[in-house]
Amino acid sequence: MIILQRTVTGLRRRDGVAVALAVLVASVVHALPAQASAPGRAPAQAAVAAPNLRDFDLRRVSDRSGPLRALSGKLERSSVDALLTASGQRRLGHGCGKPAAVPARSLVHCFDRADSATGKWVPQGVTSVSDATAGERLPGGGRPLLVSWHDSGRVRLTFVNPHRRTYRHVLLVYPTMKRGRPTYGDIGVHAGGIAWYGSKLYVADTRHGVREFDIRQIYDLGKSKAGSTGHAGRVGLHGKKYYGHGHRYVMAQTGSWHFTRGSTSGKCHGSGPLRMSWIAVDRTTWRHALIAGEYCKPKAPRGRVVTWPLWALSGGGVAQADWAAALPGDRIQGGVRTNGRWWFTQGRGQKRGRLLMTSRDWDGWSRVTRRTISHGPEDLSCYRGQHRIWTIAEHARKRALWGFRADSCG
């Protein structure tokens, strides 16, 4: 059986084929009794079934092109470069590294006092221009980091400009038609992970799969005759004006990718579609990959990690997963792969979180190294030019956007 597994892995690494053979081997492995872990490796959880790749296939649904075309006739669009330099930016703060227990020699960005202390909005996902483009730079020169936040049925996206030490919140919205007129509403997901690739922004949708946005679909309500930046309680079209809960900018969803085998429940089952807790981009492979994984508690079945080739999410149809495995730990809040090296954050409630470092070979996870890091570490993103991996410490008053040195990220 080990020989078969090595053959399949080798084929996939060379040319991306052998998916059907992988499914066949997975079914055979599932029929065999569980084996003990090899010495020095992460302990295997008892009775973990080999993941079925077809459980993770995604189909593009909910195309929003109609409402978006109508909105474009009402509101002014904005580029990300313009958004990063427009008036009304918030200033990055200071002093958050110590209360968040950020490790020494990390780069740290602090939000202002209000955003650092709020318990209403909670930061979750992290991505950057390094995930988005090969050159790690926007056409106008911007090099932003992005952070997602959730708040009881609303989601906002923060564009951080480290060069200017400023940042801007953008409300994520779902476009629709109402009585023949274009409007939009709030996005009600946890947004536990985000991944920016090309012009697309993917947001984790825990039960269904992935929400898709486009950075070219950002609307500037402040510059639009039909827009308003007032009335924090309003969103969408009210009378003749468009609102965004007081935000100047709104970013519209373009579509969704749902699991072909249905939605998930609120619990981890160890089989079936993925409970989409976090996502990341790997640009260090020949075929750039979207990575996603599950957050599962210790008494639940072990969570899983899955990859899809990003080119498969560039159009319609079905995006087939090309690799999956059980995670090397529980309570995984974020993960990323760079040049074959894996990094995972592990939440531990009010205790400081852990960073898990490992690699994957023919027989499973290699020895897992664990290091105590900040409070509440979340999603992960590799900034290649910096050789740093970024994460966000989520807890109020212990909140920081920080990056640690990782030589394999580059």
Tokens of 89: 């930016």
| pLDDT (tens place) for every residue of the chain, 410 residues total | 333 333 333 333 333 433 333 333 333 333 323 333 333 444 444 446 689 999 999 999 988 999 999 999 999 999 999 999 999 999 999 999 999 999 999 999 999 999 999 999 999 999 999 999 999 999 999 999 999 999 989 999 999 999 999 999 999 999 999 999 999 999 999 999 999 999 999 999 999 999 999 999 999 999 999 999 999 999 999 999 999 999 999 999 999 999 999 988 878 999 999 999 999 999 999 999 999 999 999 999 999 999 999 999 988 889 999 999 999 999 999 999 999 999 999 999 999 999 999 999 888 999 999 999 999 999 999 999 999 999 999 999 999 999 999 999 98
Q: How many CB atoms lie within 10 A of CB 311?
A: 12
**237 phi and psi angles, rounded to 5 deg:** -85, 125
Q: How many CB atoms lie within 10 A of CB 335?
A: 27
Task: Tell me the sheet residues that pair with 61.
Answer: 256
Largest CA distance in the chain: 68
Q: What is the model's pLDDT at position 308?
A: 98
Q: What is the model's pLDDT at position 190?
A: 95
**Beta strand pairing call for 235-238 and 58-61:** unpaired
Q: What is the model's pLDDT at position 48?
A: 60
Grouping H, G, I as helix, E, B as strand and the rest as coil, residue 19 is: helix
- Could you tell me which residues come within 8 angstroms of residue 398 by beta carbon, excluding any fewer than 6 positions away? 99, 100, 101, 374, 375, 376
Grouping H, G, I as helix, E, B as strand and the rest as coil, residue 263 is: coil
Tokens of 227: 């827009």
Q: What is the model's pLDDT at position 339?
A: 96
Q: What is the model's pLDDT at position 32?
A: 29
Tokens of 198: 């090309």
Q: How many CB atoms lie within 10 A of CB 314?
A: 11
- Could you tell me which residues come within 8 angstroms of residue 202 by beta carbon, excluding any fewer than 6 positions away? 194, 195, 196, 210, 211, 212, 213, 257, 279, 290, 313
Would you say the C-alpha torsion 116, 118, 124, 127 has a positive or negative sign?
A: negative
Task: For residues 410 and 13, give the distance between their C-alpha atoms in angstroms, rounded to a whole number.
Answer: 20
The closest alpha carbon to 397, from 350, 362, 346, 341, belongs to 350
Half-sphere exposure of 346 (CA within 13 A, CB side): 19
Please write the tens of the pLDDT for every residue from 171-201: 999 999 999 999 999 999 999 999 999 999 9
Please write the tens of the pLDDT for every residue from 201-250: 999 999 999 999 999 999 999 999 999 999 999 999 999 999 999 999 99
Task: For residues 108 and 392, give the distance between their C-alpha atoms in angstroms, rounded to a whole number.
Answer: 10
Task: Tell me the sheet residues that pair with 107.
Answer: 403
DSSP string across 293-336: E----TTSPPPEEEEEEGGGGSSSSEE---EEEE-SSSSEEEEE
